[in-house]
Every structure is written in C-alpha cells, then in structure tokens.
Amino acid sequence: VGELAKSFLWNPFFPVRLEDTLFHVLLLISKHRIQVVPVVEQSNLKVTGFVTQNAVIQLLLQSDGLTWFDSIAEKPLSEFRFENERVSFVYGDESIADALHVLFKSQTGAVAVINRQTRMLIGSVRNGDVYHLMENDKIFRDRKVVTVEEFIRIETSDRDPDPTIEREMGALLSAGVLQLRNKYRPRMDSPVTNKKTDTLKEAMKNVARTKSDFCFQVDDSQHLLGILTLRDIILQFSPPSMNSNIHGGGFFETALELTGCRIKGGTLVCDH
C-alpha cells in the first residue's frame, strides 16, 4: 500500500471538518480535482462521512430562487465554456477492450457509445462499469470479441430495487442521500443527456435526480456535442484560485469586478 500511495493513481487526501463551509469544499474540489472530500472530527481526526461532488450539486440547488444562484444557473449551457467540450467515444460495434483503452486514455471517467450508422448516442461506459468484467468471467475472457453495444445492454446485479423513492428533489436533499452507500446508477444504455438550450440549473437537477457523475450534451437528433461533468458545474460557483489556472465561476468573478478587482496571472489585481 505504501508503494501504491506514491503512485499517480491516488488522489491527495484533503479532509474537511464538520464546522467548515460549503465555500471551503468548493475550493478543494475545484483546485485539486478530487471527487470525494472526507469529513473528519477535529478532536480525534476520525472520518465521519464524505461529501461527494453530487452532494455539492444537491446543496447548491438549495439556493434555487436566490438571485446570486439564478444569475448563473438560469443561463443556457450554450453560454458556458466547459473544460471537456470534446468527448471521447467508441462505436457500438467495437470491442469492450477498445472501449477500455479509450476510457483509460480519456481520463474523464466515461466514454460515449455511438451507433456507427446513425451517429446517435446509444450509451456510455464509465469507470465504475468495469466491475462487470470482474463479476462475469465469460465477458472478461471475451472482452476482445464482445461488442460495446452488447456490453452496455447488461443488466446490473446491484441495482437499487426502487430508485424512484429518492427521485424527488426533497428526498435528494436529505442527509442520508449525501453518503456513498447509494448503489443506484443509470444504466449504461440509458445515458443522461441535456441539450445546449437547457439551462445550467436544468442540467444540475438532471444529474442530481439520476445520481450521475456527468451528462452528455446532444442535439435534437441525439448526436453527441460534448460532455458536462460535475466538476464543470461546480467550477461555475467556485472561488478563484490564486495559485492555479482555475479562475472560478461567474458568481465570484462578478463579485470581484464589483469591488474593482480581478485575478490576473495568479495575482489579485485591484484598480484602486
């Protein structure tokens, strides 16, 4: 484990305390590219829970209706420039092995699956879907033969028996849902999508409702246009980082402009 901890496969460990704010969590996630922030008790450093990116989206949605939130969230997706406008994809008639190779190289956590004839989006393969290969020896042995389209049709064995119980936004915002124990994930052949004309708020509610890590941007014909990750969304509400290329979202940029200041070259510059 000591050797593994030195490798690039491990994310840095950045815990927060129970008394820390959402502002602090936003800064950690946007700056360090981590997907889960552990919460520790100050007295004994015991880990008491986790704050996931999806939980942050749910918490941000509690500000629905407030001016500072709606000024960003009511804008259509077409007005934003996200980090992952280009999305990796494979054709449905390619092999699982091909899809895994593209998934590893993409470093985005998911690859889209496209029908070669119609160019329509028909599914996705995510990092978490690799466990199917571990559970099914036959699929693992035939990974160079079985097509991606066949693979994404596989029924998951650990599906939540009744995921609709927590589909309502009120239930989504309950404390229990903010934990990692929820096993429900969208099917591989039912990708979460939004259109460029949809607002950022609609996309946030979409990923929160489906408990997805991302959504694909598509046109009216279900042709793939891009991918929107949870981090892309969180960055729109994150504070600017002084020592990185992350400048933060529209809310904080606007707040700085109102004070006559801006971030330039990693430095806070003021006009007065």
pLDDT of 27 above 70:
yes
What pLDDT does residue 13 have? 61
Count Cβ atoms below 10 Å from residue 16 Cβ, excluding itself.
Answer: 17
At 184-217, the pLDDT tens digits run 678 899 999 999 999 999 999 999 998 898 999 9
Residue 112: closest CA among 103, 124, 96: 124
Choice among 34-48, 82-96, 180-194 with the minimum mean pLDDT: 180-194
Statement to judge: residues 34 and 140 lie in one domain? no
Statement to judge: residues 93 and 68 lie in one domain? no
Residue 178 or residue 222, greater confidence: 222
Report the CATH number that the domain containing residue 244 is assigned in CATH: 3.90.1280.20
pLDDT of 129 above 70:
yes
Domain extent for 148 = 89-168+178-194+213-224
Statement to judge: residues 143 and 164 lie in one domain? yes
Residue 235: closest CA among 215, 218, 252, 214: 252
Count Cβ atoms below 10 Å from residue 55 Cβ, excluding itself.
Answer: 24
Report the CATH number that the domain containing residue 108 is assigned in CATH: 3.10.580.10
Residue 81: closest CA among 256, 261, 263, 250: 250
Q: Is residue 84 part of a domain?
A: no
DSSP for residue 67: H
CA distance 233 to 53: 10
Number of domains in the chain: 2
Q: Is residue 47 part of a domain?
A: yes
Residue 108 or residue 114, greater confidence: 114
Q: Is residue 200 part of a domain?
A: no
Cα 74 to chain centroid, rounded: 19
CA neighbours within 13 Å on the CB side: how many for 28? 23
Count Cβ atoms below 10 Å from residue 109 Cβ, excluding itself.
Answer: 18
Cα 120 to chain centroid, rounded: 22
Query: Which amino acid would we find at residue 4?
Result: L
Q: What is the mean pLDDT of residues 172-185?
A: 45
Band of pLDDT at residue 36, cut at 50, 70 and 90: confident
Q: What is the mean pLDDT of residues 86-102?
A: 92
Band of pLDDT at residue 182, cut at 50, 70 and 90: very low
- What are the Cα distances from residue 93, in Å, to 37, 48, 97, 126, 176? 38, 45, 12, 17, 40
Residue 233 or residue 43, greater confidence: 233
CA distance 74 to 231: 18
Residue 269 or residue 199, greater confidence: 199
At 52-81, the pLDDT tens digits run 888 889 889 998 998 888 999 999 999 988
Residue 193: closest CA among 95, 120, 115: 120
Band of pLDDT at residue 131, cut at 50, 70 and 90: confident
Residue 120: closest CA among 203, 232, 42, 221: 221
